[in-house]
Each structure stands twice: as C-alpha cells, then as structure tokens.
Amino acid sequence: MMNFLQRFQMFMQGRYGMDTLNKFLVGAVFVIYIINFFVFNRVAHLIIVLINLLLIALMIFRMLSRNINRRSAENRQFVKVYNPVKNWVKYMIRRFKDRDQYRYRKCPSCKATLRVKNKPGTHTVRCPKCRYEFKTKIR
C-alpha cells in the first residue's frame, strides 16, 4: 500500500516542481486575489479573475513540466531581475526599522552605503570598504 505522499512523489518524478518563479507566482496570485476584493467594476473584476487563472495555469504547467532545462533557464532569468528588487526592498525595510538609531550615508569615494549612529553633530566617518574618511552632519 502506498500512501498519498508516496504516490505524489512518484507522480512528480522527472517533473520540474517548485522554484523561485513559481513561489513568486503563488504570492502574486494571492496579492491579486486580495486586491480584487476592492475592484467593484464587474468587467475589471472578471478580467482580474481571468489573469489570476492564467497565472495559476502557468504555475501548474511549470510545476508539472518535464522540460527541466527550459524551466530552470526561465527561473534563472527571473531570479536575475527578482533578487536585486528583493534585496532593495529588504534594505529599505531595514533602513526604515532602524531609522531612530542609524542614519545612512553614501561614501563619496566608493559609493558604498554606511550606517552611522544617529547622534546629532558633525562626525568623521571612515568607510570600512575603502578606508576613505569623510565628514558627515547628523541633525
């Protein structure tokens, strides 16, 4: 007797499965679904439902696909764009979270972003990356 999980694993053998792009699609479908609660125009609502169904179909197609090379190439292309955006969002969240304790300054020499303790006054800062020293004002 095989249980459901074993049967599912057999079924998924040689198939592509989950990746970053598919996880993103799951998130996108969920967000679009929520947004659609606030769309009261019937035609627009229907179009959004159709878009979501297409996204779900695309996700299932990618998961069950046996063309693993093609799917992972798609995922690599996606990750190239997605990762910088994700990192930027993470950075902005962190910057917002510690806005009381730190100020962010750009090193004039190497353009690296530095975190400076939020103490009012003029400070001399040394960039840990390029060792360049510069003055910065915190109000």
Residues that bind Zn ion (CB under 5 A): 107, 109-110, 112, 127, 129-130, 132
Cβ-based nearer residue to Zn ion, 86 or 129 = 129
Q: Would you say the C-alpha torsion 46, 47, 49, 54 has a positive or negative sign?
A: positive
Cβ-based nearer residue to Zn ion, 45 or 123 = 123
In the complex, the smallest distance separating the C-beta of residue 96 from Zn ion, rounded to whole angstroms, is 24
Cβ-based nearer residue to Zn ion, 8 or 132 = 132
Q: Mind giving me the DSSP string for 5-51?
A: HHHHHHHHTTS----HHHHHHHHHHHHHHHHGGG---HHHHHHHHHH
CA distances (Å), origin 136, targets 95, 125, 129: 18, 7, 17
Cβ-based nearer residue to Zn ion, 53 or 130 = 130
In the complex, the smallest distance separating the C-beta of residue 112 from Zn ion, rounded to whole angstroms, is 5
In the complex, the smallest distance separating the C-beta of residue 114 from Zn ion, rounded to whole angstroms, is 8
Terminal CA-to-CA distance of the chain, rounded, Å?
71
In the complex, the smallest distance separating the C-beta of residue 133 from Zn ion, rounded to whole angstroms, is 10
